[in-house]
Structures are given as structure tokens and as C-alpha cells.
Amino acid sequence: MKTLSAAVLVGVVSVSASCTDFLNVNTNPNGPQSVSANLYLPPMLHWMVTSPQFDGRFVGHYAQEWISTSTLFSPAQSWGRMGYDPASDNGGQQWRDVYWSLGQNLIAMNAKATAEQRWDLLGVGLILKAWGWQVLTDLHGEIIIKEALDVSRTSFDYDTQEYAYQEVQRLLDSAIVLLRRTDGAVDASYLAKGDHIYNGSLMNGTQFGGVVDPRMSRMLAIDSANTTYRGLDINVLGFGALTPPQQPRNFFGYVGSDGLGLPSRYLFADRSKIPVMTYSELQFVKAEAALRMGNQAAALTAYTNGISSHIDFVNARNLDAGQTPTQITGTEKATFLADPAIVPATLTLSHVMSQKYIALWGWGHNELWMDMRRYHYTDIDPVSGTQVFRGFTPPTNLSAANGGKVAQRIRPRYNSEYVWNVAALQAIGADATDYHTKPLWIIQP
């Protein structure tokens, strides 16, 4: 009996040791299992800048930044008619990145920053969280906040848009307080290793936190001849010796012919710098606010600054990759600003929002569409008697799913919500085919 007991004991110990050795295979000896808090930041900043551009392919149709002449369903017959792509994640990139790319990574970064008293990094983390909630609620309306990253749950209830904006404000207020602290382990050089936008500048980080607040206010589908992965370089003319059915379709939904070999311009070259927000954008925000308060002088100054600084921005972007357009000269700029049709004696909302649209075209998709919805697309400027967005006309052939109504929001991301979280969608009416036409809380009286 003693011999048997000893054998059992040896066996248990052996199994335990074997399990420990087996589990050790999950420890990578060649790479870090845990990284310093500041190294979480670069990929999150990357997605903060790029994910709006992915969704902009679709949002841009709603705001009529562009239009597709393709005969394919998407985007011309869906987004181009203020509809959507059923059973597709199109329009859900920012949803994915806020909940997944940032998600637990942002929680981990903030937890480490708190434990190490790195208040500057924690402040940046709270701004990122506020930014995420704001862009999502602007696009989708009701979103998941309170239960969003609870790993013990398999279903997640939605929060109201009103709550979302309250949470954004709370996070921004807390972030600005943190960014002003100098105690603990606050270190600009440490922050700069991960902050590739402001290089650790607390002043600029504080300013970014302050300017998120006033804003609160298909090339993927092709029928291939086969499914062979060919490892082609997209920069090789014509993608090499591919037959037309194998060639990817362009932005407008058809296979492109050889181009003229001209370099890309403005924001559309490989080395172009893509903004998150610009000084000119904020000047137009200021001009709109001043105008609505009846301060014509302040509105005119901010409006003029907005146009002037956008011209400077265009010149700077055309230098990013040595592009071909000549610079807008100082004389040309002065002549433009002296034109009373551009800078009138009496400023109106039509002037401000039209010039803001020009300044944000091609990159500021979220803000453009939010502005258009705030003015219900076709509201009349009470001063000029013209539409705030001059010349805008909703599609006459709206998607059948719309029931004659214009788009007001993007449906929640298909793969995470309509596949796995249906009960929560039903609770807010998002299972309805026309849910995307339901006006947002923020734009209602």
C-alpha cells in the first residue's frame, strides 16, 4: 500500500512538472511578454488617424464628397443612395478599432500609467477613450460604454447618446487635469517614445483634449477568376500580367485603365500627412459658434483665419512628397481673401459651412457628415435665405430600406453586433431595416 501511494505521489508530481514545462511553451523567449506603458501608444494613435479614412469611403457618399458610377450594388446602389450593405462590416472600421484595437490595450496602458504615476500618459489615454466614444456616438448614435470591455459578459447593453456625450466630457475634463500635473513620474521624453503626433508635448496634448470637445456638438469586392494568392505589388503598373477579372476594381467599382503616370496630389500621395484635425477646422467651428451668438466681428475674423490657414495647409501638403502643383502665392491668397463673394461684409452660416466643407473635403468625413445632419442636410440659413449647405440635394432614388428617409446614422458593426449581440440590438430598435434613418439624439430639438 505504501509502495502504491508513493508511486501515485511520484506520478502526480511528474504530471505537475510536465504541465509546467508544457505551459512554458507559451512564453516567448525572443519577444516581450509585457511592454512598457508608452509602447501601447503608437498603434492606437495610428488607428485614431487611419480608421476614419476607411469609414470615409462610405460616409463620403452620404456627405456627397464623391459619387460612384459603378453598376455594382456597393457602393453606388447602397451608400450612394444613403443605404448600407447588409451583412457587411462596411462602415464599421471605427467601431472595430475603438472596441478592439484600442479596447483592452487602452485599459492596460492606463492601468500601467496609473500604477507608475505617469499622469501625462494617463491623460493621453483618457483623451483617446473620449475620442473613441465621441466618434462612435456621432456615427452610430447609441453605443456600448458601461459594459463594453467587461470580459465576464457575452452580451452587451447599449447606452444612450446623451450618456455617451456626458462620458466624453467627463473623460476630457479628467485628462486635462492630469496633463497639467508635474508630480509623480511625468516625463516628456518617456511619453515622446510612443507619442508620434505631439512628441510628448504636454501643451499640445492639453490643447488636443480641449479641441475634441467643441467637435462634440468599396474597393474590397471583386469576382476573381480564381482565388490564388499572387503576392502582387500594388505599385506595379497594372498589377503585372493579370487578366481583367483578376484585377482589383478602383474606387468607382470598375477596373481602371493605365493612368498618365502623374504623381498623386494633396493628401493622396504615399507620403502625405493625414490630419486628425486642423487649425482651419477649429477656426470654422469658432466662426459658427460666434455667428450663432450674434458676434459678427469675431465670426468674420475666425472665418477669414480658417480660409487663410487652409490655403497654408494645402501648400504644406503639396510639399510633403514633392508634388507637382505650384504653391498658392501670397498675392493669390490675398486676392482670394479680398473677394467679397468669399469674405463678405455680412457673414452667414452658408459661407462658414461651405468653406468648412472645402477645408475638410477628402479627410474630415466624420465632422462633415455630423455638420450636415446638424443642419438636417437642407436647412435654410435664416440670414441669406439659402441652404446652409448650398446646392446639396438628397438622392432622389433613396435605398428601398430607407422608406423615403435620409441616412442619419450607421448601423452597428455587423460581425460583432448582428451576429453576436442581437438581443441588445432589438432593445434599441437596431434590428429594423431602416434603423440607419433614425435621427440622433444630439440633433433633435
DSSP string across 131-158: HHHHHHHHHHSSB--TTTT-TT-SS---
What letters, b where the CB count within 10 A reaches 16 and e where it falls short, cover 211-231?
A: bbbebbebeeeeeeeeeeeee
Distance CA 131, CA 175 (A): 12
pLDDT of residue 212: 63
CA atoms within 13 A on the CB side of 87: 0
pLDDT at position 71? 82
Return the number of other C-beta atoms located less than 10 Å from residue 12's C-beta: 10
Give the pLDDT of residue 218: 23
Quick one: how far is CA 220 from the chain centroid? 19
Which 8-state DSSP code applies to residue 439? Answer: P
Where exactly are the structural domains of the chain?
37-215, 279-374
At residue 290, the pLDDT reads 97
Query: Domain 279-374, what fold?
Result: Four Helix Bundle (Hemerythrin (Met), subunit A) (1.20.120)
Q: What type of residue sits at position 15?
A: V
Question: How confident is the model at residue 249, as a pLDDT?
Answer: 63
Residues of the chain by 3-state class (helix, strand, coil), percent to 5: 55, 0, 45
Q: Supply 163's cell numbers.
A: 450618456
Residue 408 burial by Cβ neighbours in a 10 Å radius (0-12, 13-18, 19+): buried
Report the alpha-carbon distance of residue 104 to residue 93 in Å, rounded.
17
For every one of its 445 residues, what pLDDT tens digit does the chain have, with 9 covering 90 and above? 555 555 544 454 444 555 555 556 667 777 767 889 999 999 999 999 999 999 999 999 999 999 888 888 888 889 999 999 999 999 999 999 999 999 999 999 999 999 999 999 999 999 999 999 999 999 999 999 999 999 999 999 999 999 999 999 999 999 999 999 999 999 999 999 888 787 777 555 566 666 565 454 422 233 333 444 455 555 565 556 566 666 666 655 666 666 666 667 888 888 888 899 999 999 999 999 999 999 999 999 999 999 999 999 999 998 887 777 788 999 999 999 999 999 999 999 999 999 999 999 999 999 999 999 999 999 999 888 999 999 999 999 999 999 999 999 999 999 999 999 999 999 999 999 999 999 999 998 8
H, E, C per residue of 89-111: CCCCHHHHHHHHHHHHHHHHHHH
Write down the pLDDT at residue 220.
25
Between CA 408 and CA 353 the distance in angstroms is: 19
* 23 grid coordinates: 505551459
Q: What fold characterizes domain 37-215?
A: 1.25.40
**280, containing H or E segment:** helix 279-292
The amino acid that residue 380 corresponds to is I
Q: Give this prediction's pTM.
A: 0.83
